[in-house]
Amino acid sequence: MANETARPPINVLIVDDETSQRNPLAAMVSSWGFVVETADDGQQALDKLGAFPANVIITDLMMPRMDGFELMKRLGADGNMPTAIVLTAFGNIETAIETIHDLGAFWFLEKPIQPNALRILLERAASQSALAEETERLQRQLSYQGVLVDMVGTSAPMQQVFSIVRQVAPSKAPVLIAGESGTGKELVARAIHHLSSRRGGPFVAINCAALPETLMESELFGHEKGAFTGALERRAGCFELAQHGTILLDELGEMPSGTQAKLLRVLEDSRVRRLGGKSEISVDVRVIASTNRNIEDALKNGDLREDLYYRLNVFEIALPALRSRMSDVPLLCETLITQLNHKHSCNVTHLHPEVLDAFMKHSWPGNVRELRNVLERAVIVAGAGVIQMAHLPYDFGVSSGTRTAPEFLEPESVRLPVGTTVSEAEKALIQLTLQHTKNNKTRAADILGISLKTLFNKLKEYGAEAASSAEAS
Binding site for Mg ion (CB under 5 A): 185-186
Minimum CB separation of residue 28 from ligand ATP in Å reads 49
Query: Choosing among ligand ATP, Mg ion, none, which partner's interface includes residue 320 (Cβ < 5 to 8 Å by kind)?
Result: none
CB 432 within 8 A of CB 409: yes
292 binds, among Mg ion, ligand ATP, none (CB under 5 to 8 A by kind): ligand ATP
Return the residues of window 277-306 that contact ligand ATP according to CB under 6 A: 292
* For Mg ion, the closer CB: 17 or 186: 186
Q: Residue number with the shortest CB distance to ligand ATP?
A: 184
Q: Which does 409 bind (CB under 5 to 8 A by kind): Mg ion, ligand ATP, none?
A: none
The residue number with the shortest CB distance to Mg ion is 186
For 188-204, give one letter per residue: b (16+ CB within 10 A) or e: bbbbbbbbbbbeebebb
Residue 185 vs 427, nearer CB to Mg ion: 185
Among 151, 242, 283, 466, binds ligand ATP (CB under 6 A): 151
For ligand ATP, the closer of residues 71 and 374 by Cβ is 374
Residues 344-403 that bind ligand ATP (CB under 6 A): 368-369, 372
> Within 312-351, which residues bind ligand ATP (CB under 6 A)?
332, 335
Q: How far is the CB of 197 from ligand ATP (least distance, A)?
A: 23
Provide CB contacts within 8 A for 336, sequence distance 6+.
Answer: 371, 372, 375
Q: How far is the CB of 250 from Mg ion (least distance, A)?
A: 5
CA distance 231 to 32: 59
Whole-Å CA distances, 365 to 256, 324, 334, 453: 28, 11, 20, 24
Q: Closer to ligand ATP at the Cβ: 62 or 346?
A: 346
Residue 40 CB, shortest distance to ligand ATP, in Å, is: 48
CA distance 322 to 327: 9
End-to-end CA distance of the chain: give it in Å, rounded.
Answer: 75
Q: Which of residues 153-212 bind ligand ATP (CB under 6 A)?
A: 153, 179, 181-187
Q: 81 and 125 in contact (C-beta within 8 Å)?
A: no
- Nearest to ligand ATP of 26, 161 (CB atom): 161
Report helix, strand or coil for 68. Answer: helix
In the bound state with Mg ion, the residue whose beta carbon lies nearer, of 283 and 288, is 288
Dist CA 238 CA 444 (whole Å): 27
Alpha helices in 35-173 (DSSP H): 42-49, 68-78, 93-103, 115-144, 156-168
Instruction: Give, in order, the Cα–Cα distances in Å from 370 to each of 157, 329, 332, 390, 423.
Output: 19, 12, 12, 18, 22
For residue 112, say if its preceding peptide bond is cis, omega within 30 degrees of 0: yes
Q: Mask 419-438, x = binds ligand ATP (CB under 6 A)?
A: --------------------
Q: Compute how many residues bind ligand ATP; rule: CB under 6 A.
A: 17
- Residue 187 CB, shortest distance to ligand ATP, in Å, is 4
For residue 104, the one-letter residue type is: G
- Helix residue ranges per DSSP H, 292-421: 295-300, 306-312, 329-344, 353-361, 367-382, 404-408
Separation of alpha carbons 106 and 423, rounded Å: 59
With respect to Mg ion, which residue has the nearer C-beta, 125 or 206?
206
Q: Which is nearer to ligand ATP, 63 or 434 (CB)?
A: 434
**Where along the sequence are the contacts to ligand ATP (CB under 6 A)?**
151-153, 179, 181-187, 292, 332, 335, 368-369, 372
